[in-house]
Structure 1
Amino acid sequence: MSSDGIRFRAPRKEDGPEVWRLIKKAGTLDLNSPYSYLMLCDMFSDTCAIAEEDETVVGFVSAFLLPDSPNTVFIWQVAVDPSQRGKGLGKQLLREVLNRNACKGVRFLEATVSPSNRPSQSLFRSLAREHRTACRTRERYSEELFPSSGHESEWTFRIGPLNKKESTEEVQ
């Protein structure tokens, strides 16, 4: 439990519906099917994390180890309830995932971010500074690959190599 009353834990399949509602409420992420959140909370609980306040889910990170590169954790979504934004909860959730036993061998973190998503870009660059490492970007999925018009391209943010023994203090 952190000093602000937020508790971090691994998700359970029963959290799937509440995670789906959080993603929907956040309004800034692609909303996937409720079934996908059930599966993430059930089958990927070792690399996903929940933040809760008073037994209410106020944050969620979905992540998994890349099958062809198990030293890389891919962050699929970082969702923070609007009431908790600006408090560093997203970064705390990322730290929670990186400190899991499942991520013991992780040296790199990857995520895809759209060009207009400045908060996520700032979050991942800040995490790279905290770990005193590089944050490299490149286009991963061009907008032409998305079946619906209006979806921006997605850029990969690759952070690493991670030095987990470094201080968790933000580097200026």
Structure 2
Amino acid sequence: MKIDDEFDGITLREPTAEDGARLNTFVRITPPLDMNSCYCNVLQCDHFSETCILAEKDGELVGYVTCYRKPKEPNVFFLWQVGVGKEGRGHGLATTMIQAILARQSCRGVTELHTTITKSNEPSRRLFASFAKKEGAEMTEYENHFTSEMLDGHAAESLFRIGPLSTPKS
């Protein structure tokens, strides 16, 4: 287990495949997060461990971020999902987790963060606006990047591009 840091009594670390089911349960009990299959979460924790992070307090999962570098744009870090449970809220944990991943050697050369957010997800919109401000970066929204039709009836997702990033890379 590779530990990144300790933050306010919370341990930040890379996930392993064994964390996939725990992550799946955490997503299920932390609304309004969108569920993925357990298999998807296992793959994220296994294949993308260097660009994902778990936050634990006293051995309990209190937050996570799942991300990957885009294969066709290796300077782009795509943030798939971020979740913080009640126990971890109000401490800047989401931003700290994102910055901890970006500071890893595996993110050397990353200059932009991309994510998609539905119009109704105000907490995520605030999180990424705050993150962009802390990074001193521009944030640009591209509405309906993934339409409802593309997402089989799920609300349309706008693409947010944040960059250039300033988080120091290892």
Question: What is the TM-score with the length of structure 1 in the denominator?
Answer: 0.90
State how 1:1-172 maps to structure 2 within 5 Å: 1-139=5-143, 140-148=145-153, 151-165=154-168
How much has 1:46 moved relative to structure 2? Answer: 0.5
Give per-residue Cα distances to partners, 1:2-59, cap 9 Å, x unaligned.
3521010100111111111111111112101101111111110000001000111111
> Secondary structure at 2:106's aligned position in 1?
helix
Cα distance in 2, alignment partners of residues 95 and 42 from structure 1: 20
Give per-residue Cα distances to partners, 1:44-76, cap 9 Å, x unaligned.
000000100011111110000001100000000
Equivalent residue number for residue 168 of structure 1: none
Cα distance in 2, alignment partners of residues 22 and 123 from structure 1: 20
Number of positions where the alignment pairs a residue of Structure 1 with one of Structure 2: 163
- The aligned amino acid for 2:146 is Y
Of Structure 1 and Structure 2, the greater strand share is in 2
- The aligned amino acid for 2:152 is P
Cα distance in 1, alignment partners of residues 150 and 19 from structure 2: 31
Sort the Cα spacing of 1:33 and 1:156 in 2 relative to 1 into closer, same or farther, 3 A: same
Cα distance in 2, alignment partners of residues 33 and 134 from structure 1: 33
* Structure 2: runs of 5+ lacking an equivalent: none
CA RMSD of aligned residues (A): 1.2
- The aligned amino acid for 2:45 is C
Cα distance in 1, alignment partners of residues 118 and 90 from structure 2: 20
Cα distance in 2, alignment partners of residues 33 and 146 from structure 1: 16
How much has 1:86 moved relative to structure 2? Answer: 2.2
Question: What is the TM-score with the length of structure 2 in the denominator?
Answer: 0.91
- The aligned amino acid for 1:164 is T
- The aligned amino acid for 1:159 is I
> Secondary structure at 2:61's aligned position in 1?
strand
